[in-house]
Chains A and B, each alone.
Chain A
Amino acid sequence: MLRFANPKKFLDLSGALLPWLWLGAIGLMGWGLYAALFATPADYQQGDSVRIMYIHVPSAWMASFIYGFMFIASVVGLVWKHPLADTAAKEAAPIGACFTAACLITGSLWGKPTWGTYWIWDARLTSVLVLFFLYLGYMGVWAAIEDRAKAARAAAILCVVGVINIPIIRFSVEWWDTLHQGPSVVRFENGKLAPSIDPSMLWPLLAVAVGCTLLFFALLFVRMRTDIARRRIRTLMTMKAAA
């Protein structure tokens, strides 16, 4: 891992990976969404609104996953004081905020026909909304502190403190008796993990989920490369101004 902490090595590696990431993301999401919107059957109770699930569930997974990614990057940044880890956490945050927003919006659009309301103050909905606020606060800290090294450490502390919310989101539907359903994509049955939805729906869902993960890394690498380039330009300009 630490070998790629060198920005030059990172630029080389991410440059080589990027086309494959884009290809995988577009391919998987394209096939998954086609299957989700046209090939799979409508639900016998929910009708076509069940198709929202193929966006909603991967977005929700990504919302937590990206926060976890930022948490690890923040810890690495705090412990080893590595600038590239700070950059990774910083550039992941807006992407995570977008997935969280997508999750909240698609969920509320699905909620209206199914539950009869756009929004309800249910434990899982509320904790995902709190996660959205955490993303915004994290981005706010980066924007408010001018000194980059200081901003990185302040944002990392906030990220580490806020990670408490992740298990709350994960278990909220099991701890509290809420309107949002419990986990129902895979379940433990007879002591082993088994999918509890039909394969014709499971595969498109997994394809979109993996596609979203690849999309996240593609966007992240583009953003990180832009950030590195931006700082390099600034250094070159100051050097030129000083000369």
Chain B
Amino acid sequence: MSAFLALVRRDLLLSFRIGGGPFLGLAFFLTVTAMLPLGVGAKLNLLGEAAAGFLWVAAALASLLSLDRLFQADAEDGSLDQLALGALPLEFAVLAKAIAHWLTTGLPLTLAAPVLALMLNMPEAGYATLTLSLLIGSPVFSLAGAIGAALTAGLRRGGLLLSLLVLPLFVPVVVFGAGAVSAAINGFEPGAAFLFLGAVSLFSLVLGPVAGAAALRIHLS
């Protein structure tokens, strides 16, 4: 357990000291959100309708940005071999790194989402649902993303391939996440969509570390 926490702490420290921590992801999130009104025009009713889906897509893209570095840096400098040799099973090492990734991307985006929703003129009824749905669903971006990151860890140009591998896995979360928000806005009960989100999230909690570790072992062998 202490090794697990130490790994989470190490990754958090690394992201703060060399990558600007959660602020870079937030800055990206804010920039793409600012692009949307510039692209579709500042029509408030149009923006309000698209806001829920757009924020979910932006969150998926913002998580994707940092995913290709999840194992890459460790694979390059050899710390990945150390992790594989250590007492902590590789599955838990993947889980620890995915948690650290979520804490520096998914969580800040979740907290910032209501502010951006306000800027995009989303109806107020959707704020709580948006935040809650991102809280439940965004871990999938880190957990399922870890599979893609592990598969492309040893490659020199893994980034583009990573997005092709990972986006199909993100599809159900975006569908049900944005679905929950638009249900809430239109006065329906978003409960069913939450259950689906929770199911996908729990499923990727199991699948992500196991498949991620299996993929890492390929590059280590």
Query: A and B bound?
Result: yes
Q: 1/0 contact trace for A147-182 toward B, CB 8 Å?
A: 000100110011011100100100000000000000
By the criterion CB–CB under 8 Å, are A136 and B164 in contact? yes
Interface contact B168-A141, CB-CB below 8 Å: no
**Which segment of B9-17, B122-130, B183-191, B213-221 sits at the interface?**
B213-221
Any A CB within 8 A of the CB of B161: yes
Contact A126/B171 with A140-B161, A157-B211 known, Cβ cut-off 8 Å: yes
Q: Given A145-B155, A161-B147, A137–B218 Cβ distance below 8 Å?
A: no
Inter-chain CA distance A140–B151, complex, in Å, is 11
CB-CB < 8 A to B168: which residues of A? Answer: 130, 133-134, 137, 162, 165
B155 cross-chain contacts in A, Cβ below 8 A: 144-145
How many A residues touch B, CB cutoff 8 Å? 20
Whether A161 contacts B169 in the complex (CB less than 8 A), given A137-B164, A140-B161, comes out as yes
- A144 and B161 in contact (CB under 8 A), knowing A154-B151, A165-B168? yes
Interface bin, chain B: 20 to 34
Partner of A141, one of B151, B157, B221: B151
Interface of A is mostly: helix
**A153-B218, A161-B147 are contacts. A144–B165 as well, Cβ < 8 Å?**
no
B residues 161-210 with Cβ under 8 Å of A? 161, 164-165, 167-169, 171-172, 207
Report Cα–Cα, A133/B218, bound state, in Å: 23
Check A133 against B151 for contact (C-beta < 8 Å). Answer: no
**Is the beta-carbon distance between B161 and A137 smaller than 8 angstroms?**
yes
Instruction: Give A73 Cβ to nearest chain B Cβ, in Å.
Output: 17
Which among A130, A134, A141 has the highest number of chain B CB atoms within 10 Å? A141
**Docked complex Cα distance between A12 and B207 (Å):** 40
Closest to B151 in A: A154
Which residues of chain A have C-beta atoms less than 8 A from B165's C-beta?
137, 140-141, 158
Rounded to whole angstroms, the CA-CA distance of A137 and B154 in the bound complex is 16
A154 partner residues in chain B, CB cutoff 8 A: 151, 215, 218
A130 to chain B, nearest CB (A): 5
Q: Kindly provide the distance from the CB of B106 to the nearest chain A CB, expressed in whole angstroms.
A: 20
Q: Does B152 contact A (CB under 8 A)?
A: yes
Q: Is B37 an interface residue (CB 8 A)?
A: no
Q: Which residues from chain B contact A150 at a C-beta distance below 8 Å? A: 154, 218-219, 221
Tell me the bound Cα distance from A158 to B218 in angstroms. Answer: 12
Closest to A150 in B: B218
Cα-based distance from A160 to B151 in the complex (angstroms): 13
Bound Cα distance from A25 to B172, whole angstroms? 37
Tell me, yes or no, whether B158 is within 8 Å of chain A by CB: yes
Residues of B within 8 A of A134 (CB): 168
Instruction: Using known A-B contacts A130-B171, A165-B168, determine if residue A144 contacts B214 with beta carbons closer than 8 Å.
Output: no
A150 vs B220: C-alpha distance in the bound complex, in angstroms? 10
A144 and B158 contacting across the interface, CB-CB below 8 Å? yes
Cβ contacts under 8 Å, B214 to chain A: 157
Known contacts being A137-B168, A141-B151, A153-B218, is A161 close to B161, with CB within 8 Å?
A: no
**Is B215 touching A157 in the complex (CB atoms < 8 A)?**
yes
Question: Can you name the residue of chain B whose Cβ is closest to the Cβ of A161?
Answer: B211
In the assembled complex, the Cα of A144 lies from the Cα of B214 at a distance in Å of 18
Taking CB atoms and an 8 Å cut-off, the chain B residues in 123-156 that contact chain A are 147, 151-152, 154-155
Bound CA span A140–B157, Å: 12
Residues of B contacting A126 in the complex (Cβ-Cβ under 8 angstroms): 171
> Whose C-beta in chain A lies nearest to the C-beta of B164?
A137
CB-defined A-B contacts under 8 Å, sample of 17 = A137-B161, A137-B165, A137-B168, A144-B152, A144-B155, A150-B154, A154-B218, A157-B147, A157-B151, A157-B215, A158-B147, A161-B147, A161-B207, A161-B211, A162-B169, A165-B168, A168-B172
Given A137-B164, A141-B161, A157-B215, 15 more A-B residue pairs with CB atoms under 8 Å apart are A130-B168, A130-B171, A133-B167, A137-B168, A140-B161, A140-B164, A141-B165, A144-B161, A150-B218, A150-B221, A154-B151, A154-B218, A157-B147, A161-B147, A161-B169
Q: Which residues does A use to contact B, with CB under 8 Å? A: 126, 130, 133-134, 136-137, 140-141, 144-145, 150, 153-154, 157-158, 160-162, 165, 168
CB-based closest 7 A-B pairs = A137-B164, A137-B165, A130-B168, A153-B218, A140-B161, A133-B168, A154-B151
